Amino acid sequence: MGLTDFRIVFDNPWATYSPGQTITGKIIVCVDAVKKIR
């Protein structure tokens, strides 16, 4: 029960990133029940 999947998906997963560089993408969170999130 609880968290079933947590992934970070980058818009460009093949890039080499440098410190301070802006990275874009999505965070995918799957749960098996309704959760209150703040």
pLDDT number for residue 1 = 66
- Give pLDDT, residue 4: 92
Tokens 């098996």 belong to which residue? Answer: 32
pLDDT in tens, 1-38: 688 999 999 999 899 999 999 999 999 999 998 888 78
pLDDT score at 3: 87
Rounded to an integer, what distance in angstroms lies between the CA atom of residue 28 and that of residue 25?
Answer: 10
Q: Which two tokens stand for residue 10?
A: 């980058």
- How confident is the model at residue 34, as a pLDDT? 86
Looking at residue 20, what is its pLDDT? 95
Q: Which residues pair with 5 in a beta bridge?
A: 30
Give the DSSP per-residue string, 12-36.
STTPPP-TT----EEEEEEESS---
If you search the block for the tokens 């080499």, which residue do you land on?
16
